Structure 1
Amino acid sequence: MASNNLLTPDNHALLLIDHQYLQLLTLRSHEASQVISNAQAISKTAKIFNIPIHLTTAFAERQELLKEIQDVFPEQVPIDRTTLNSWEDSRVVDWVKQTGKNKLVMAGLWTEVCLQMPVLSALADGYEVYFITDASGGASREAHDMAVARMIQAGAIPTTTWSYVSEVQRDWAREETAGEVTKLFEEHGGGFGQGLRWEWQLLGLKEGTR
C-alpha cells in the first residue's frame, strides 16, 4: 500500500513555469543542457502516466517555450502571463483547482523568482507543494540555493528529476509503464542511461525487445 507521503501518478498535478530562452541563456546555477534534459524527462513522465500538467510562459511573443518541452505537448498552449508570480494569474489557479489535486509539483526558471513565488503562494493556500531542483535553475548558484532554502523553510518539499520519476513508477512490475520509463532513463539518464545501453549490448538485446 502506498504511503500518503509518496507521490503517485493520480495524487498530484504538475506545473512547469517559464522554461524559456532568455531565462535559459542567463542560467548560472546549473548546466543549461542538463536542465533542458531534466525538464523534458519530467514532461515525458507526465505524458506516460497521464499526470495533469500545465505549461506557463511570460511574454511569449518575445520568447517561446523551449522546443524540447513544447514538442512533448504540441496541442497545449501555455498560459502566457504578465505576472512574475504565476499564482497571481487566475487561469493558473483555476486550472489547479480543476484538477482536484492537493499535491502540486513545480519546476521553473528562475528558481528565485518564477518558481519561488508560486511555491510560497500555493503553500499559503493550503497545498502540499514539491519542487524539482534540477529541472529548475537560477541566475546564480547563490540565488538558486537561497530560494531552495526559503521554500524548504516555508514547508515545500524538494526532490530531483530521477527521484520523481522513480517515485511515480515505484514498481518495475507495472509493465504498462515500465518499458517507457526504462526508455526515458536511457534517453535522459546520463551515465545510468549509458549503462543501460551497455547492458543491453552485452545481453544482445535489440530495440523493441527490451
Structure 2
Amino acid sequence: MNTPLLDPTNCALVLVDQQAGLAFGVGSDDRQTILNNSIALAKTAGVFSLPIVASTSATKVYSGPMMPAIQRAIPNVVAIDRRSMNAWEDDAARSAIVGTGRKRLLVSGMLTEACVSFLALSAASDGYEVFVVGDACGGLTPQGHEYALRRMQSAGIQVTSWLQVLLELQRDWTRRDTYDGARAIVEEFGGGYGIGLAYSRDMIKV
C-alpha cells in the first residue's frame, strides 16, 4: 500500500542553527515553547531511529553551540559548523544530508526567514520532499515567520507540527517497539493530550 504519510524508513531530520544566540532574536512565539517543541522533535527522531543532521553557524563569534537541552536529546549527534547562512550551500552539511539516503527531510531551526527557508527552498529545488516543522522553528516576528512559511508552501514545501510528525510515524499504538518512547514524549511535551495519555496509563491501566 502506497501512502503519502511519513514513515521511519523514508525521512531524516535536519536541525539548522538551534543556537541560543539566534534564539535571543526570536519573537514569533514563546522561546521556551519553541525549545520544548524542538526537543520533542529531536527525541522523536531518536525513538524512530531517523538519521539526524545538525548544523550550526557562527558558533565562535555570535550564535554559540547548539542549545544544550537539544544536544542532550541527541547526545551522539555532532553539529556541522558552517559560514554560509544556507546549509545547502555548505559542502559538509549538504553532503551529510545527502549521505542519509533519505529523500524526505524534516526541517527545524532558526531563523525561519533565513537559514530554515534557504535550506528548505534549496533542497526542494534539488528534488527533495521537504517538511518544515513550523512549531519547532523560530522567526524574528510572527509576521516574518508566517510569511516565510507561506513562501515555502508556495514552493511545494509542506508545513507540519512536531506532534503530527510523531503520530504519523507511530500511526498505530500497537507498534510496541516504539510505543513506550513515543508515549513518553507525548506525556512530557504533548500538553492536554499528554495529560490524557498519562491518566489512561495510571487510572485505566491502558
Deviation at 1:174, TM superposition (A): 0.5
Letter in 2 for 1:198: Y
Any idea what SS the aligned residue of 2:9 has?
coil
Any idea what SS the aligned residue of 2:145 has?
helix
**Percent of paired sites with the same residue:** 35
Q: Which runs of 5+ in 1 are unaligned?
A: none
Contact 2:108 2:133 in 1 (8 A): yes
Give CA-to-partner distance per residue, 1:119-143, whole Å, 9 cap, x none. Answer: 1101111111111000001000110
Instruction: Find the counterpart in structure 2 of residue 26 from structure 1.
Output: 25
Instruction: Find the counterpart in structure 2 of residue 181 from structure 1.
Output: 182
Instruction: Write out aligned runs for 1:47-196 (5 A).
Output: 47-61=46-60, 62=62, 63-196=64-197
Provide the rounded CA distance (Å) in 2 between the counterparts of 1:152 and 1:44.
26
Instruction: Find the counterpart in structure 2 of residue 197 from structure 1.
Output: 198
Letter in 1 for 2:159: P
TM, length-normalised to structure 2: 0.94
Contact 2:85 2:115 in 1 (8 A): yes
Give CA-to-partner distance per residue, 1:183-209, whole Å, 9 cap, x none. Answer: 110111112222333334433x5xxxx
TM, length-normalised to structure 1: 0.92
**Count of residues in Structure 1 that have an aligned counterpart in Structure 2:** 204
Any idea what SS the aligned residue of 1:77 has?
coil
Letter in 1 for 2:11: H
Deviation at 1:2, TM superposition (A): 5.0
Contact 2:52 2:77 in 1 (8 A): no
Provide the rounded CA distance (Å) in 1 between the counterparts of 2:65 and 2:12.
23
Deviation at 1:24, TM superposition (A): 1.2
Provide the rounded CA distance (Å) in 1 between the counterparts of 2:167 and 2:27.
27
Provide the rounded CA distance (Å) in 2 between the counterparts of 1:76 and 1:114.
19
